[in-house]
Every structure is written in C-alpha cells, then in structure tokens.
C-alpha cells in the first residue's frame, strides 16, 4: 500500500473517531505481519466471535493501517471482543509472528447513527444501542440459537433413514467444542436443509457462528447465523407430501429389488456349486 493511500485511511479514521464512549465491541490488533489482507484479519478474528458488518456495504468492520501494522476490529457482541483479547493476544497470525490484541480506547464508529439499520441484520443485537437496557427473556434465548443451512437435502433423509440421527450426533459433538449444546434439531422437510443448534450461553453461540460459517460437512459448505426469531418450521404442501411419499416408495422399491437380485444371485451361485 502506498503512503498516499495509507494517509487517506488515517485521515478517514480521524474523521470517523470522535470521542465516543469507551469501546466494548472493538479491539486493536498490533504487530501484524507485512502484506496481510483484511480478509485474513477477519478470518483470524472470527475464531473469537462474530464480526460486526457495515449496514450499507455488508463489509466486516475492520480498519487496517498497513504502515502501522495494526487493525481495529469490531465485533457484534461484547463477548466477541472479550474473547479476542483473552484468546488471540499472543497467538501467531502466521508462523513465528505473534500479535497483540487489546481493547480499543474508543469505538471507531458512531453506532447510534446506524441503530435502525443494524437491527435488521441478523448478526447484531441491542448491545449496539443502550447498554443499560436489559434484554428480554425471549431475546436472551434467541441469542443462544445458531441456525445452520445446507446441512442436508430432504431427499438425503429419505434415502438414508439413519442420517437424521447422525446429524444430531455430529452437530452435538461439533457444537460442544464451543460450549454446552442443549438442542440439535434438523427441520426434516426444509428445502434449505436447516438445523437448529441451541447452546446454554450466548458466548458459545457467538463463537460457534463465527467459526462454523462456510464450514464443510459431508461434502457441503454449510452456513451459520444467529437466529433472527422467525419461525423456522416448514409446513409441506399436499404436493410436497405426495412427492416425498412417492420418492420414499421408489427408494423402498429400489432397495427391495436390490435385495431380491442379490438373493437370486446367491441362489444361482449355490446351484452352480
């Protein structure tokens, strides 16, 4: 990056950092190696939690100063910033290159200007508003729920009756890496292959969402997101039900035919002997 571009970023930072309240969402990472990208910084920080995004562009809120080898990174939750400080400070960004992570002295953006837009985004919640405002019971429960998509297809569940239980087992084990899992529920007929994973804490859910988005499972890339409170149950139409029954009957017929053929071949082999 040229000096001119760096100065432009620094000028932007100065303009966008008035004296806001002390930071509880943002951290500063120092001692970054040369020629790192914002994507690399984002991936490194997502180990600690979900990153905040700009309500207009959708970009991760990362301000990177290449000349100073530092970046200011903003999380969606205070817990994300706390985890970044405790987990990532001293971690090696690349081999033999540890970084330091500290709490920012102030937030890099005036979130009050974005409050309305941010509420519409799934990865933000009322911590971006008045921090003295207590969350409702329903909101506290919502922040513990991760929604996975593209985990399976309804056809796969038909063809493999044991897959439903395997999904529950697998995602319980995967989720337990981040905290206690209290529920794993595949929505069987959902065309997007939705699985609900509920944790016993908001911190565990935030960590899991940040780490598992775009993870690979059974040859598929799954997405993870915070539950937005909408009903995820899927009610099949009459046509959907009939189609599923038809597919299941075809599957059973195929299995029966295969077994009959195998039995016939075994009998023929016995007769030849």
pLDDT, residue 85, reads: 93
* Cα-Cα end-to-end distance for the chain: 79
Q: Do residues 169 and 198 both lie within one domain?
A: yes
Q: Are residues 220 and 159 in the same domain?
A: yes
Q: How far apart, in whole angstroms, are the C-alpha atoms of residue 236 and residue 238? A: 7
Average confidence (pLDDT) over 64-79: 88
* Same domain as 120, residue 220: yes
Supply the pLDDT for residue 242: 65
Give the model's pLDDT for residue 116: 53
Would you state the pLDDT for residue 250? 61
CATH code for the domain of 38 = 3.30.70.330
- Domain containing 69 equals 26-111
* pLDDT tier at 255, thresholds 50, 70, 90: low
**pLDDT of 216 over the 80 cut:** yes
Residue of 81 and 10 predicted with greater confidence:
81
In the chain, DSSP assigns E strands to 26-30, 62-65, 70-74, 92-94, 97-98, 100-103, 145-149, 181-186, 195-199, 216-217, 220-221, 223-226
pLDDT of residue 113: 61
Residues 170 and 102 in one domain: no
How much is the pLDDT for 182? 94
Question: If you average pLDDT over every residue of the chain, what do you get?
Answer: 77
Check whether residue 30 and residue 56 sit in a common domain.
Answer: yes
What average pLDDT score do residues 88-105 get?
93
- Is 263 among the domain residues? no
Q: Pull the structure tokens for residue 58.
A: 């959708």
pLDDT digits (tens, 9 = 90+) for 108-156: 776 666 655 555 444 444 444 444 344 567 777 888 899 999 999 988 9
- Number of folded domains that form the chain: 2
Q: Is 20 inside any structural domain?
A: no
CB atoms < 10 A from the CB of 92, how many?
11
124 and 215 part of one domain: yes
Range name among 64-68, 138-142, 154-158, 203-207 with the lowest pLDDT average: 138-142
**Which residues are paired to 147 by β-bridges?**
196, 225
82 and 33 assigned to the same domain: yes
Tokens at residue 232, please? 């995820």
């Amino acid at each position: 990056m040229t000096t001119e571009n760096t100065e432009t970023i620094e000028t932007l930072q100065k303009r966008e950092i008035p004296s806001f309240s002390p930071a509880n969402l943002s951290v500063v990472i120092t001692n970054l190696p040369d020629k790192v990208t914002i994507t690399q910084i984002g991936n490194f920080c997502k180990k600690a939690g979900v990153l905040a995004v700009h309500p207009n562009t959708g970009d991760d809120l990362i301000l990177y100063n290449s000349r100073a080898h530092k970046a200011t990174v903003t999380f969606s939750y205070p817990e994300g910033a706390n985890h970044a400080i405790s987990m990532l400070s001293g971690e090696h960004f690349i081999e033999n290159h540890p970084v330091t992570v500290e709490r920012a002295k102030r937030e890099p953006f005036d979130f009050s200007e974005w409050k309305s837009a941010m509420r519409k985004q799934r990865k933000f919640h009322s911590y971006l508003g008045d921090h003295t405002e207590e969350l409702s019971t329903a909101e506290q429960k919502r922040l513990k729920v991760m929604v996975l998509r593209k985990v399976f297809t309804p056809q796969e569940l038909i063809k493999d009756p044991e897959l439903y239980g395997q999904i529950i087992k697998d995602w319980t084990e995967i989720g337990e890496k981040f905290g206690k899992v209290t529920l794993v529920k595949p929505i069987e007929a959902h065309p997007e292959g939705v699985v609900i994973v509920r944790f016993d804490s908001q911190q565990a859910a935030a960590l899991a969402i940040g780490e598992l988005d775009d993870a690979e499972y059974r040859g598929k890339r799954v997405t993870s997101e915070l539950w937005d409170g909408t009903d995820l149950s899927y009610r099949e139409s009459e046509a959907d039900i009939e189609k599923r029954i038809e597919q299941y009957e075809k599957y059973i017929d195929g299995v029966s035919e295969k077994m009959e053929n195998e039995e016939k071949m075994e009998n023929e082999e016995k007769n030849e002997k």
